[in-house]
Amino acid sequence: MVPKPVPADAAQAPALRLQLLIVCPGGRWQAQLTAPNGEHLLFDSPFELVRYLTQLAQQPGAPGLR
């Protein structure tokens, strides 16, 4: 499946772009999220990652997740 670009809507708040890397070294799930400021966040569980992204999307002025 090839991701489709999401058109920018001028009426929305500016998007926050995060880089996500998911690796499974030795069968162990791990994700690294890189914020625009270069901060690296490590997650050992997909549930921790979803919890973080949900909190991020619920902040005032957040454009939501796409």
More confident residue, 59 or 14: 59
* Total number of domains constituting the chain: 1
For the question of whether the overall pTM of this predicted structure is more than 0.85, the answer is no
Residue at 30 is within a domain: yes
Burial of 47 (0-12, 13-18, 19+ CB in 10 A): exposed
Residue at 44 is within a domain: yes
Helices (H), 1-66: 46-57
Q: Cα(17)–Cα(36) distance, rounded to whole angstroms?
A: 6
Residue at 63 is within a domain: no
Asked if the model's pLDDT at residue 7 lies above 60, the reply is: no
Residue at 37 is within a domain: yes
Residues 6 or more apart whose Cβ sits within 8 Å of residue 40: 32, 33, 34
Of the ranges 5-9, 46-50, 54-58, which one carries the lowest mean pLDDT score?
5-9
Q: How much is the mean pLDDT over the chain?
A: 75
Residue at 31 is within a domain: yes
Domain boundaries, position 33? 19-57
Residue at 9 is within a domain: no
Residue at 65 is within a domain: no
- pLDDT tens per residue, range 17-32: 778 888 887 878 888 8
